[in-house]
């Protein structure tokens, strides 16, 4: 089966051009405009290099040309490093020559107050068939084929370990700075791309292309934002189908500036929660800084994946081993005692003052007897009760350090299990060992905490949920267009019922006599509610009376509620009084929907009471979700044990609740004028007796 999405941008000639022109090339190889030519030569680029500068005859030993029109051939890529005012003219020349790609380093466009100039550039580029990377970027590097299309000083080093990490950053400066830090710590990269303003080619174009490369083992993104959430989701799905891990450092997730939401659900599912929901749904590793990029690059850059959470620790320092075990436990890894048979096998290598339990403490005795290290390591790696191994070394130096280094490399190559090394040694005494481990692809850490974190991410990725099913969110005709512009609770529940969602029995009445008749028809006890589009949260203003046992109590409550409502909201439009059955038993839950501007409808489910108000205990997904995914949502709630029947209580009807979540999620996608939905409470009855909606609020989209 072809997993590739229907629309994948072909960027092969950008990544591997036959010729490159550098507009604004400088004779100073250390300047921003001089570095591109210097880097192309330094990397041994095999194609033609055309410096373009009307004021020079030659640059770096190459013939220099006055403009694009005078080039002897049409280059595959034109690098643009001139001031912003000259860029439109350069792109016109590229369009005239039908140049396939241009990388615009220049800044001063949409990121400033010159958005119209960027639009002019793109209009010209589209007419001439030119694809644009940038503006305001630092370009890209294809390390696999030694193609640097950048001016970054981070590339001046001749040390360029080729690896299996593809890194795409919207920030040029942070992107190449964090790349350099990670590369120095042993991470091997295959591609690094900075997209800048993303006037044309964006992170999705590159992410999809790199996910299709069988040599890429990890996709890393630094992201600020973009406009098409559906394309981003398709990229995540494609990477997931190809088993390519995705790690994202997303900035700008704070709720600053977000307008207040009308429904309770919208308050719970802010912008940050939208991203986190999508990340959880598609198995994305959520990272926070440059250290995370380096650590993940080390552990995922290898081709070994974990089949579980069981960690074996081998150490030469009892204290360091305990710290590693503690940090691993904090992160959800399991550091269990090794089977007795394995411990017996280790006895001959471990001194009597060490331990074979786990962590396996070889003690500093390894300095005198390093020969047994590999046998010990292989024994632990071969243990079926161990999924991954961390080797924690202290100040092992001299010949012993060399032996341990050599044996670590051999064991890592032999085993199919993930292996990481944390060597607590300074570079002066251990630099040669550290460099040799990194050169041979052994994930190397200088921090116990960082090592444990990286291994935990590897284990969690192995346990990631299945990709969401492609269920249709458009089944059935939208019903909202035929309903009032401002919906009451009664309207909201009618809408839900039309979509097959069970709601409480109720009758809308317009007089006291009708209310008494309705109560008789439904049967006491009943609830009485004021119905008004201006009173969304009725309990806040005393517009609800519960558990009315007879006609006398109903008569007394009827006038009292109307009076309270008129005092609390004098201009409220009263659309009637709702007589509703009192649902008894079960546990209160909530289901909500908020339409995110980027990802569309998000559906949330949570337990009621303090779990929603204080603990914010909700599970969120991008809609629609099928019933199985809805069950997973319910099960990941912190309060799920209460719903499942904790302390001898009868379990609730989890399947009915999940079915309701799924139906509401499908409805949210089909009803494209729906902005917010708050179904609260939902009474989840005992297992086998279903779930029923007792109250609901629907808010139309403000932009409709």
What pTM was computed for the model? 0.91
Supply the DSSP string of 459-518, one letter for each residue: HHHHTPPPPPP---S--S---GGGS-SS--HHHHHHHHHHTT--B--EEEESSHHHHHHH
The per-residue pLDDT for 254 is 62
As a CATH number, domain 505-581 is 3.30.1490.20
Rounded CA separation 220/126 (Å): 29
Rounded CA separation 356/381 (Å): 14
The per-residue pLDDT for 267 is 44
Domain with CATH 3.40.50.720 in the chain: 12-298
Rounded CA separation 79/227 (Å): 26
Rounded CA separation 271/35 (Å): 40
Q: 540 in helix, strand or coil?
A: helix
Domain with CATH 3.40.50.261 in the chain: 309-462
- End-to-end C-alpha distance for the chain, whole angstroms: 40
Domain with CATH 3.30.1490.20 in the chain: 505-581
CATH superfamily of 12-298: NAD(P)-binding Rossmann-like Domain (3.40.50.720)
Token pair of 613, please? 């108000």
Rounded CA separation 162/226 (Å): 30
CB 78 within 8 A of CB 90: yes
- Series of mean pLDDT values for 10-residue runs along the chain (704 residues): 55 97 94 94 96 95 97 98 94 97 91 81 96 96 97 87 94 95 94 95 96 97 88 95 96 55 43 87 95 97 93 95 97 97 92 92 84 92 97 91 94 94 92 93 95 97 89 74 92 96 97 96 96 89 94 95 93 95 92 92 89 82 94 94 86 97 95 93 95 95 78
Rounded CA separation 445/423 (Å): 7
> What architecture is domain 309-462?
3-Layer(aba) Sandwich (3.40)
- CATH classification of 587-700 is 3.30.70.660, yes or no? no
Q: 193 in helix, strand or coil?
A: strand
């Amino acid at each position: 089966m072809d997993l590739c999405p229907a629309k994948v941008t072909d960027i092969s000639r950008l990544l591997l051009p036959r010729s490159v022109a550098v507009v604004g090339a400088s004779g100073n190889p250390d300047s921003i405009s001089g570095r591109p030519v210097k880097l192309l030569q330094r990397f041994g680029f095999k194609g033609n290099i055309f410096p373009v500068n009307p004021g020079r005859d030659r640059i770096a030993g190459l013939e220099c040309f006055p403009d694009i029109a005078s080039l002897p051939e049409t280059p595959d890529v034109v690098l643009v490093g001139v001031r912003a005012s000259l860029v439109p003219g350069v792109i016109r020349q590229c369009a005239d020559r039908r140049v396939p790609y241009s990388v615009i380093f220049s800044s001063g466009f949409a990121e400033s107050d010159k958005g119209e100039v960027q639009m002019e550039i793109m209009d010209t580029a589209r007419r001439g068939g030119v694809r644009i990377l940038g503006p305001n970027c630092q370009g890209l590097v294809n390390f696999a084929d030694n193609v640097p299309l950048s001016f970054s000083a981070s590339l001046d080093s001749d040390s360029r370990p080729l690896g299996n990490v593809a890194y795409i950053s919207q920030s040029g400066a942070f992107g190449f700075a964090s790349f350099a830090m990670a590369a120095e710590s042993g991470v091997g990269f295959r591609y690094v791309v900075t997209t800048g303003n993303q006037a044309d080619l964006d992170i999705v174009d590159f992410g999809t292309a790199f996910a299709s490369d069988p040599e890429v083992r990890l996709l890393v993104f630094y992201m600020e934002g973009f406009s098409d959430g559906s394309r981003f989701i398709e990229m995540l799905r494609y990477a997931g189908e190809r088993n390519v891990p995705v790690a994202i450092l997303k900035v700008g997730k704070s709720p600053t500036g977000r307008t207040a939401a009308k429904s309770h659900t919208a308050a719970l599912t802010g912008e940050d929660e939208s991203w986190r929901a999508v990340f959880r749904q598609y198995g994305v590793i959520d990272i926070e800084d440059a250290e995370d990029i380096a650590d993940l690059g080390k552990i995922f850059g290898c081709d070994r994946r974990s089949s579980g959470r069981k960690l074996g620790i081998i150490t030469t320092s009892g204290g360091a081993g305990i710290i590693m075990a503690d940090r691993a436990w904090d992160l959800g890894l399991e550091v269990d005692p090794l089977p007795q048979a394995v411990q017996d096998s280790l006895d001959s290598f471990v001194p009597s003052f060490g331990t074979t339990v786990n962590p396996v403490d070889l003690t500093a005795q390894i300095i005198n007897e390093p020969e047994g290290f590999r046998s010990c390591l292989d024994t632990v790696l071969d243990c079926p009760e161990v999924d991954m191994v961390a080797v924690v070394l202290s100040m092992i130096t001299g010949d012993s350090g060399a032996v341990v280094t050599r044996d670590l490399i051999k064991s890592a190559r032999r085993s199919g299990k993930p292996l990481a090394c944390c060597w607590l040694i300074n570079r002066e005494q251990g630099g040669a060992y550290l460099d040799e481990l990194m050169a041979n692809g052994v994930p190397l850490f200088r921090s116990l905490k960082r090592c444990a974190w990286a291994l935990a991410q590897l284990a969690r990725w192995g346990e990631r949920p299945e990709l969401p099913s492609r269920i249709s969110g458009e089944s059935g005709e939208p019903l909202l267009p035929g309903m009032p512009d401002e919906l009451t609770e009664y309207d909201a529940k009618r809408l839900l019922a039309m979509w097959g969602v069970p709601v409480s029995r109720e009758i809308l009445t317009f007089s006291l006599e009708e209310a008494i008749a309705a109560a008789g028809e439904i049967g006491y006890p009943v609830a009485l509610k004021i119905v008004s589009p201006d009173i969304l949260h009725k309990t806040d203003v005393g517009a609800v009376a519960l558990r009315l046992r007879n006609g006398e109590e109903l008569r007394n409550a009827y006038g009292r509620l109307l009076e309270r409502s008129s005092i609390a909201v004098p201009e409220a439009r009263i659309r009637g009084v709702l007589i509703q059955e009192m649902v008894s038993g079960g546990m209160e839950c909530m289901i909500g929907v908020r339409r995110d501007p980027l990802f569309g409808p998000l559906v949330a489910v949570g337990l009621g009471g303090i779990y929603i108000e204080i603990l914010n205990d909700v599970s969120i997904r991008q809609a629609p979700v099928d019933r199985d995914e809805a069950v997973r949502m319910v099960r990941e709630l912190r309060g799920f044990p209460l719903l499942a029947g904790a302390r001898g209580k009868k379990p609730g009807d989890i399947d009915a609740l999940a079915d309701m979540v799924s139906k509401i999620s499908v409805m949210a996608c089909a009803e494209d004028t729906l902005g917010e939905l708050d179904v609260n409470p939902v009474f989840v009855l005992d297992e086998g007796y279903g779930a029923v909606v007792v109250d609901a609020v629907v808010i139309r989209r403000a932009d409709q």
